[in-house]
Chains A and B, each alone.
Chain A
């Protein structure tokens, strides 16, 4: 077990290092002098020179990278070329909004998607199943930003019930949650349905029925428990996206989170900000995946040896 955790930990460190190389290279991918890129296109020469000194742009690439990495390890990603705020501050002041929105969509997906999948499986080939299955496919196929626009047209513009931009009150959460969560509802519904269908054909279910167990008990005690494993996997890995999963929806609803911050920074070529957001949201994915894997190894000993 300890060996598994250590191996998994080392792997995560390497992945984070790999991510840092990609994130660092982002500003070098853009055409032109990287200093001018990060300083902003109309920065005065003395500012450009200061940044060149500060980040060591006159040094070879690997020295630059190490310098960047040392600062990134302390969550220092420099300052925004547009606002002058530190990137860490820009991100931290918006991060709670992003997490809250994503958790809200996540909860919506769990509360609707899983029960829907279970009912669909229990009533296999019924109208409910058919409608839910096709509905889930439609839900996965609609672009989330378009669904957001449709929701705004219906509920904000025409009915005037709900606000269409900004964050603040609970009402602000409704439309972005629906737009962001619908695809996740559909995904969870599909996973829990197929998982249930598989469990329902198992021999131990037939055994449970044949020994005279009530249908309710069969469902609760034998089916749900066994069908939960793949569902929990999906739930675990979805949690990794609470930071980086709402880039487009935040833009549609002018949500004051880090997704919108990232899009705005890309539009204004504010590279330090982009780097900070990409690095942080990747860090979140790596950490959550690590936690999920380790807790899996605790719960299911088979995982450790594969």
Chain B
């Protein structure tokens, strides 16, 4: 038997958030991941002060392709730029895309899912068929094709990843709304004459926050992976601006003589994505272990 946790038998005065928070703190890996995420965002925010050199303009021609050294801990790239500085600046791109794209997906998905689940009928059918449609096209292929057609840029990458990634939110939110709209507390709110917006935002939505929070955390991980893939293939953020994905692209040509170029940015990507995945898993266990996301 597993040892019973401290918060298990606490009185009903303790709030749901409080209990979830305690359960999350018991999940050591997840807490570690949350700390890592916090540090990554600090690095992104303070990039200009943390980076030892300018990521674009400081070029050390004589040290091109040099491996890691004291002066350049991550080595030097094929142009002669300090890789540590480029990785630090690159964190801004990946973390911004991850956060903003996941937020766009969240707003779209929750809105559509709520509409479908609350009103049902034609609205439900139309929205869920759009979901089916979006899920019928291989995601990477759809995103690359649309970004390439619109023109690769930071903004387009964010918009396209955000606008294509909302289907999971819609499905989950719809499911919660369908089961909650018939509940007694919603019925009584309706009988008391509450407005629809009040019922939705005040009575139903707070009750389906748990799976949405978990999904959002995991969604940031996916968005970061997609952005780095796009930039790696040349359809994302364009050089000389540094992104973790586009630093790796020229690294492919120097696998023998300068393997650090193709290695180090990938470690940064993996750590970031892993941190969000771990935090998401921990949140799921803390908020609702039975959750199906």
Residues of A within 8 A of B (CB): 11, 14-16, 18-19, 22, 26-27, 29-31, 134, 137-138, 140-143, 145-147, 149-150, 152-153, 156-157, 241, 243-245, 247-248, 251-252, 262-263, 266-267, 269, 274, 277-278, 281-282, 285-286, 289
DSSP class of A's interface residues: helix, strand, loop or mixed? helix
Known A-B contacts A27-B149, A138-B274; the reply to A146 vs B266 at CB < 8 A is yes
With beta carbons under 8 angstroms apart, the residue of B29, B149, B228, B251 that contacts A30 is B149
- Residue of B whose beta carbon sits closest to that of A277: B141
B145 — which chain A residues lie within 8 A by C-beta?
26, 262, 266, 274, 278
> What's the least CB distance linking A28 to chain B, in Å?
8
- Residue of A whose beta carbon sits closest to that of B265: A146
> What's the least CB distance linking A87 to chain B, in Å?
14
With beta carbons under 8 angstroms apart, the residue of A19, A142, A149, A286 that contacts B252 is A149
Number of A-B residue pairs, CB cutoff 8 Å, is 131
In this assembly, does B122 line the interface, its C-beta being within 8 Å of a C-beta of chain A?
Answer: no
A277 — which chain B residues lie within 8 A by C-beta?
141
With beta carbons under 8 angstroms apart, the residue of B150, B262, B277 that contacts A140 is B277
Known A-B contacts A26-B146, A248-B140, A282-B138; the reply to A142 vs B233 at CB < 8 A is no
CB pair A137–B278 under 8 Å, yes or no, is yes
A146 — which chain B residues lie within 8 A by C-beta?
248, 262, 265-266, 269-270
CB pair B270–A15 under 8 Å, yes or no, is no
A27 — which chain B residues lie within 8 A by C-beta?
149
Instruction: Annotate B149-181 by CB proximity to A: 1 below 8 A, 0 otherwise.
Output: 111000000000000000000000000000000
Contacts A243-B138, A286-B136 known; 9 new A-B pairs at CB < 8 A: A18-B129, A29-B146, A153-B259, A157-B256, A157-B259, A247-B138, A262-B144, A281-B138, A282-B137
CB pair B229–A145 under 8 Å, yes or no, is yes
Residues of B within 8 A of A (CB): 29, 129, 132-133, 135-138, 140-142, 144-146, 148-151, 221, 225, 228-229, 232-235, 248, 251-252, 255-256, 259, 262-263, 265-266, 269-270, 273-274, 277-278, 281
- Complex Cα spacing A267 to B132, Å: 29
CB pair B234–A267 under 8 Å, yes or no, is yes
* Interchain residue pairs with CB less than 8 A apart (10): A15-B132, A30-B151, A31-B151, A137-B281, A142-B270, A146-B248, A244-B138, A247-B141, A248-B232, A289-B136
> What's the least CB distance linking A96 to chain B, in Å?
18
Known A-B contacts A143-B266, A149-B262, A285-B136; the reply to A251 vs B233 at CB < 8 A is yes
- Complex Cα spacing A147 to B145, Å: 24
CB pair B266–A149 under 8 Å, yes or no, is yes
A26 — which chain B residues lie within 8 A by C-beta?
145-146, 149
Known A-B contacts A26-B145, A137-B274, A146-B248; the reply to A248 vs B221 at CB < 8 A is no
A141 — which chain B residues lie within 8 A by C-beta?
221, 270, 273-274, 277
- Residue of A whose beta carbon sits closest to that of B224: A143
- Residue of A whose beta carbon sits closest to that of B222: A140
Known A-B contacts A141-B270, A248-B232; the reply to A263 vs B137 at CB < 8 A is no
CB pair A19–B133 under 8 Å, yes or no, is yes
A278 — which chain B residues lie within 8 A by C-beta?
137-138, 141-142, 145
With beta carbons under 8 angstroms apart, the residue of B141, B265, B281 that contacts A281 is B141
- Complex Cα spacing A286 to B255, Å: 39
> What's the least CB distance linking B190 to chain A, in Å?
27
> What's the least CB distance linking A105 to chain B, in Å?
15
> What's the least CB distance linking B36 to chain A, in Å?
12
With beta carbons under 8 angstroms apart, the residue of B148, B233, B273, B274 that contacts A248 is B233
- Residue of B whose beta carbon sits closest to that of A279: B137
CB pair B137–A143 under 8 Å, yes or no, is no
> What's the least CB distance linking A13 to chain B, in Å?
12
Known A-B contacts A31-B151, A146-B266; the reply to A285 vs B141 at CB < 8 A is no
What are the 10 A-B residue pairs with the smallest beta carbon separation, nearest first? A244-B138, A146-B266, A141-B274, A29-B149, A141-B273, A18-B133, A266-B148, A30-B149, A149-B262, A282-B137
